[in-house]
């Protein structure tokens, strides 16, 4: 089987959405006590193409906060925005979905309760490093689970949750 054929069947031979592999990060944002960057995922083994990323509130967020996804390469180490920092969070209920269109200038924000807006055709290519969530204002309660879809561009590339 060629590498291209293997990519077509990343999800056990069937991948109808063509989004690639899926990684789930449970509980990011739980009881933050400082303005910080929360590590979500690690890219290892080469380049990957991010095809979608979104968050789902699993515990009511009761404090005002802003956030935005960032990538910090292992070599070079300069944190770069993956989306504009936004998503003003304030009393967002369970099942509120945070997403954006995949552009670096696009703002991540609440799409709605039980409704998410996927990346359009705007994919991001990332090298080895850490994908994090930059939190602009402290939240003291609440939980968001994060889901990331990707396609490895190198045979040994993968993403895992931190």
Out of 45-54, 89-98, 141-150, pick the least confident: 89-98
Predicted confidence (pLDDT) per residue in 21-31, tens digit? 999 998 866 55
Q: What percent of the chain has pLDDT over 70?
A: 75
**What was the pLDDT predicted at 158?**
96
Number of structural domains (the chain) is 1
Predicted confidence (pLDDT) per residue in 4-13, tens digit? 444 444 444 4
Yes or no: say if 68 and 134 are a contact pair by the CB < 8 Å rule. Answer: yes
pTM of the complete model: 0.83
Give the mean pLDDT of 42-60.
Answer: 91
| Most confident listed range (28-37, 60-69, 127-136) | 127-136
- Is 2 among the domain residues? no
Q: Write out the residue range of the structural domain in which residue 80 sits.
A: 19-161
- Is 54 among the domain residues? yes
* CATH number of the domain bearing residue 82: 2.60.120
- Is 149 among the domain residues? yes
- Token output for 145: 């689970």
Higher pLDDT, 52 or 64: 52
**What was the pLDDT predicted at 1?**
42
- Is 4 among the domain residues? no
- Is 59 among the domain residues? yes
Q: What percent of the chain has pLDDT over 90?
A: 35
Residue 98 has pLDDT above 50, yes or no: yes
Yes or no: say if 145 and 161 are a contact pair by the CB < 8 Å rule. Answer: no
Out of 75-79, 85-89, 96-100, 137-141, pick the least confident: 137-141
Yes or no: say if 29 and 149 are a contact pair by the CB < 8 Å rule. Answer: no
Residue 94 has pLDDT above 70, yes or no: yes
Q: E strands along 60-128, which residues?
A: 65-73, 80-81, 86-89, 96-99, 109-113, 124-126
- Is 64 among the domain residues? yes
- Is 72 among the domain residues? yes
- Is 7 among the domain residues? no
């Amino acid at each position: 089987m060629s590498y291209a054929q293997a990519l077509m069947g990343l999800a056990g031979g069937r991948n109808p959405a063509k989004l690639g592999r899926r990684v789930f990060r449970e509980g990011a944002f739980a009881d933050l006590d400082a303005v910080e960057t929360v590590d979500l995922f690690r890219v290892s083994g080469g380049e990957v193409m991010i095809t979608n990323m979104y968050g789902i509130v699993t515990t009511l967020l009761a404090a005002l906060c802003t956030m935005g996804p960032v990538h910090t390469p292992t070599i070079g180490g300069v944190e770069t925005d993956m989306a504009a920092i936004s998503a003003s969070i304030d009393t967002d209920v369970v099942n509120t979905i945070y997403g954006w269109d995949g552009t670096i200038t696009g703002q991540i924000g609440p799409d709605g309760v039980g409704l998410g807006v996927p990346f359009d055709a705007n994919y991001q290519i990332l090298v080895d490093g850490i994908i994090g969530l930059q939190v602009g204002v402290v939240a003291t309660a609440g939980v968001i689970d994060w889901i990331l879809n990707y396609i490895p561009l190198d045979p040994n590339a993968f993403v895992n949750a931190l």
